[in-house]
Amino acid sequence: MKKLILPASVLFIFLLEGMYVQFFGSFDAGQEWIFVPRFLFCTLFFIVLFYDRTQGFLYALCFGLLFDIVYTEVLGVYLALFPVLCYVLDRLMRLFHHHLLIIIAVTLLGIVGLEFSVYALNLLLQVTDMGMEQFLEKRLVPTLYFNGIFLILFSFPLRKFIFYLQAKILDE
């Protein structure tokens, strides 16, 4: 039963991200800023970093596929990007001390990689006509601010929760 807590939690974050987009996706503050929540990606990276690499990559693969099926028109984008970016960030974190501010910075770097990859693919498939300057100003910067605030508020509790689950499962 305890082993179901982590997948249920990740599923909850997946659904929470979708609900955010549903309810707050049309935020207008005088400009057309696009705040893209990447809570799931942040959580998957934290699982890779603090729980178990192999399981984290499997979660990234499964939830990447689920993300593609539910939210996108092109299958395989997030299926490939979530595990690959989690792997690259995990390798990058081996160079640094696991201080929470460094983890937040590396996670934001991963979000930059994710956003640029999705943008480049959308440009390639002619799904978007947004120029690079417009992408940076209206999507990337607001997304980084939004997810940075999320990480500042929730990275410590998320890390504690993952450690708690790891200790509970090891006790079995």
**pTM, whole model, 2 decimals?**
0.93
Residue position matching structure tokens 């996706």: 25
Phi, psi of 80 (to 5 degrees): -85, -40
Mean of pLDDT over the chain: 91
How large is the average pLDDT for residues 38-51?
97
Would the pLDDT of 29 be above 80? Answer: no
Contact by Cβ (8 Å): 35, 27: yes
Look at residues 79, 76, 72 and name the one whose alpha carbon lies nearest to residue 36: 72
Contact by Cβ (8 Å): 10, 47: yes
**pLDDT of amino acid 80:** 97
How large is the average pLDDT for residues 20-32?
67
Contact by Cβ (8 Å): 102, 80: no
Model pLDDT for residues 46-58, shown as the tens digit of each residue: 999 999 999 999 9
Model pLDDT for residues 92-122, shown as the tens digit of each residue: 999 998 899 999 999 999 999 999 999 999 9
